[in-house]
Structure 1
Amino acid sequence: MKKVFIEGPVSSDFIAQSIAKHQIKTSIGAHNIFLGQVRADVIDDKKVAAIEYTCYEALANEKLHEIREEAFEKFDLICMHIYHSIGTIKSGEVCFFVFVSSKRRKEVYAATEWIVNAVKDRTPIFGKELFEDNSHQWKVNS
């Protein structure tokens, strides 16, 4: 199984290096990238300063492996990578990175949406919203 969880935010350097590594794979005709970023939502007049992500890593890795296998069965993909942050991620920072490659663009669009939704729906990754006033609450995915 591939390493999925990254301590801290997903850096722009990490994203750029991921893209650069795929330039030698000349059978690829299309890439699609999804970046999930922490929003500074205002909830009950309190602004989100960060989200603290935790997970049950063994089960999360198992679910992510299942999602990966299903994605390769459903879509004609050449490469597919999922990365998710754990720890405290400030608003404005990237916490979720999905990178999909295929021969054709149609496949990468459909696959990316399916993968993002499957990760959000099926993976035990939990986010605690940390507000500017030092209060917190568990995040509900939407």
Structure 2
Amino acid sequence: MEKANNIKDIFVNGAIPPDKIAKSIANHGVKTAIGAHSIFLGQIRTDENNGRKVVAIEYTAYRDMALEKAREIREETFSKYDLTCLHIYHSLGEVNVGEICLFVFTSSPHRKAAIAACNELVERIKSELPIWGKEVFDDNSEQWKVNQ
């Protein structure tokens, strides 16, 4: 998805479906200059806090600011690493335990660039994008999550 001002929309409403991930991988089979892909999938886990279990995380963001920062991070990553492709998808809204909330996919002629770029992207997304998660517990209480 592209926004009108040509900023790629990284957001997916709810969980990132497995078929979106599979299709993205399959679409790269025709790009024969690619020698390596690195993929990171962030999944909601069952954490426990004061006897309560996390059942979901509800993500919110300053959308326009996050999209602009993602564009900046994307451009910087392309200039730093020898990449063929780079894709970022992040959930907004509620994502249940066991579902995927972050999909980062880098492709390069060589594995080292794909792996290093993917790792750096994940760290920058977690630390720089204005996206927040509210933990939803099994007793219907909520609390803002601290990124680790």
- TM-score category, normalised to shorter length: over 0.9
Map of 1:69 onto structure 2: 75
Shift of 1:12: 0.7
Map of 1:5 onto structure 2: 11
Map of 2:128 onto structure 1: 122
Map of 2:58 onto structure 1: 52
Runs of 4+ in 1 over 4 A off after TM superposition: none
**CA RMSD, aligned part only?**
0.6
Map of 2:143 onto structure 1: 137
Shift of 1:122: 0.3
Unaligned 5+ segments in structure 2 are 1-6
Map of 1:113 onto structure 2: 119
Q: What is the TM-score when the length of structure 2 is the normalising length?
A: 0.95
Map of 1:25 onto structure 2: 31
Map of 2:104 onto structure 1: 98
Q: Percent identity?
A: 55
Q: What is the TM-score when the length of structure 1 is the normalising length?
A: 0.99
- Equivalent AA in structure 1 for residue 137 of structure 2: F
How many Å separate the matches in 2 of 1:71 and 1:134?
40
Shift of 1:43: 1.1
How many Å separate the matches in 2 of 1:110 and 1:32?
9
Map of 2:22 onto structure 1: 16
How many Å separate the matches in 2 of 1:25 and 1:38?
31
